[in-house]
Structure 1
């Protein structure tokens, strides 16, 4: 049976952020911690070794695959900061057009530094993602 690699852990979020090598990326990671905590109302939790997640939801696909994941989160990775939001929908795409300098993956949005993006739009993306997951997975 498939075992999820990214699970909520008891590791310290603060210790993880303090271990980020690059000083500016570490500073951005602490600012993101404040923003995500303020907007979500959830305490930050480590998911796997490097994702800082907020809240959680349980998903189950038609294939039978199921698991738990954070509603939103981020990771201050070496190359870029990864922001984890709900997969693209029209509202997300509209917000991303106003977000600032970024690239996207299926569910991730990548930024070089927080100064490259609009914090108000970041907050709206967090709210949009939580609303999407709560609608899609009502027990979230």
Structure 2
């Protein structure tokens, strides 16, 4: 996937849910600060910061945002490409959330510890941005 020319602010302004829109703005500010990168749209609904190249053992490879989120209908998704299992201890302190293999689902940032979330995002970005991340080996 590659970044698109779609305006991030227009995308966020168009988020229907007031809670998701507010949370998207909060994550936009947080991820811009911790990554030092400017946001870009990756596809129609993912806001990403920086990029990393991945290559799976299967041979599939591509690029994605090194830190990213998407304000989905049911919850805001925070992408953790290095996997949620990396953050078991921090996630136990986070507050109300659900997880997938590399996704953190949060219905309302008001119900999580923002300093814990910031630590997770910062560490994930650092790991994913390392030169040897995603090389498949």
TM-score, normalised with respect to structure 2 = 0.90
Deviation at 1:7, TM superposition (A): 2.9
Question: For 1:25-56, what per-residue CA distance to the aligned partner results, in whole angstroms no more than 9, with x for missing partners?
Answer: 21111111101111111111101100001111
**Following superposition, which runs of at least 4 residues in structure 1 exceed 2 angstroms of deviation?**
135-139
Aligned to 2:100: 105
Alignment partner of 1:130 is 2:125: yes
- The 3 A distance-change label for structure 1 pair 119 and 66 is same
Aligned to 1:87: 83
Structure 2 unmatched ranges of 5 or more? none
Q: Aligned partners of 2:73 and 2:133: how far apart in 1? A: 32
Aligned to 1:12: 7
Q: Which aligned pairs between 1:28-67 and structure 2 lie closer than 5 A?
A: 28-67=23-62
Alignment partner of 1:25 is 2:25: no
Number of residue pairs matched? Answer: 133
Deviation at 1:138, TM superposition (A): 8.3
Q: Secondary structure at the match of 1:98?
A: helix
Structure 1 unmatched ranges of 5 or more? 1-5
Is the contact between residue 98 and residue 104 of structure 2 (CA under 8 Å) also seen in structure 1? yes
